[in-house]
Amino acid sequence: MQQPPAIRFDRLGQVFHSRSGTTEALRDVSFEVARHEFLAVLGPSGCGKSTLLRMVAGLLKPSAGQVEVFGMPVSGPREDIGIVFQKPTLLPWATVAENVLFPLRHKTGHVSPRDRERAGELLAMVGLAGVENRLPDELSGGMQQRVGIARALHMDPDILLMDEPFSALDALTREVMGFDLLRIFSARPKTVVFITHSVAEAALLADRVLVMTGRPGSVLTEITVPAPRPRGPETVNMRETHELAAHLRSLLLQRDAA
């Protein structure tokens, strides 16, 4: 029996109503994400990329159409989905370890020694061994975002939604975080939907890139990334990566000209 996709968007539409009027954010969006696929969603601001993530997470009900996760309609928040936001939103008074453990403590009311051990293992995996007892304001922006990734992974979700997680970082830190992300998900495969404005990030990280139109957002095209895995710094200089990035830029520039 064929397994259902990890995520399925079926003819999605989204309209927002406010005092200033009505905004159609999404129109007739349909696509699937396979289990353990890394999908990058690329498109202009306001095209509904983050809205798609909120629908998968069960935080927003679509105005039209349906979202399915593992063959079941999404009707509310799910425990098998983790989210990494643009900013890590860490608790400033809690240590790094306690920030990682917060979702579990909030859910169950207690944390076991094994849970703490796992938090330490995840912090080591994201390059933060030895900072468990520091406070967030003692860390750089890149380190704080690593804590956010470790926190999302601690509940071991099947699906990870990442909403422009590196957008607030400087260019060098952003590049390093991209390579770290490749290493992390090579060690612990997940189904990932990664929202970005960066053509370079999409070309480096993803198995497939979904390019969206301007508002109301719809699917312009889907492109399979040719670079083989595993990937690393050498991937950036591959001819296939340069050609893909150039093609993605041309699509976005054509949209802007239109």
pLDDT the model gives residue 258: 47
Q: Could you tell me which residues come within 8 angstroms of residue 86 by beta carbon, excluding any fewer than 6 positions away? A: 163, 164, 165, 167, 168
Query: Domain range spanning residue 133?
Result: 87-156
pLDDT the model gives residue 254: 74
Task: Answer yes or no: is 106 within a domain.
Answer: yes
Per-residue pLDDT tens digits of the chain, which is 258 residues long: 678 899 999 999 999 988 888 999 999 999 999 999 999 999 988 899 999 999 999 999 999 999 999 999 998 888 889 999 888 889 999 999 999 999 888 888 889 999 999 999 999 988 899 999 999 999 998 899 999 999 999 988 999 999 998 888 888 888 888 998 898 888 889 999 999 989 999 999 999 999 999 899 999 999 999 999 999 889 999 999 999 999 999 998 875 544
Task: Answer yes or no: is 140 within a domain.
Answer: yes
Q: Give the Cα-Cα-Cα angle 104, 110, 111 (nearest 5 degrees).
A: 70
Task: Answer yes or no: is 197 within a domain.
Answer: no
Task: Answer yes or no: is 137 within a domain.
Answer: yes
Q: Which helix (H) or strand (E) holds 180?
A: helix 171-187
Identity of the amino acid at 252: L
| CA distance linking residue 194 with residue 210, whole number of Å | 10
DSSP reduced 3-state for 35: coil
Report the candidate in 149, 151, 161 with the shortest Cα–Cα distance to residue 33: 161
| CA distance linking residue 245 with residue 239, whole number of Å | 10
Report the candidate in 245, 192, 214 with the shortest Cα–Cα distance to residue 6: 192
pLDDT the model gives residue 68: 96
Task: Answer yes or no: is 147 within a domain.
Answer: yes
pLDDT the model gives residue 257: 44
* DSSP letter (8 states) at residue 138: G
pLDDT the model gives residue 239: 93
Say how many Å lie between the first and final Cα of the chain, rounded. Answer: 44
Count of domains for the chain: 1
Q: For residue 189, what are its two tokens?
A: 């495969």
Task: Answer yes or no: is 128 within a domain.
Answer: yes
Task: Answer yes or no: is 60 within a domain.
Answer: no
Report the candidate in 222, 225, 219, 221 with the shortest Cα–Cα distance to residue 10: 219
Asked if 168 and 187 count as a contact pair (C-beta separation under 8 A), the reply is: no
Task: Answer yes or no: is 57 within a domain.
Answer: no
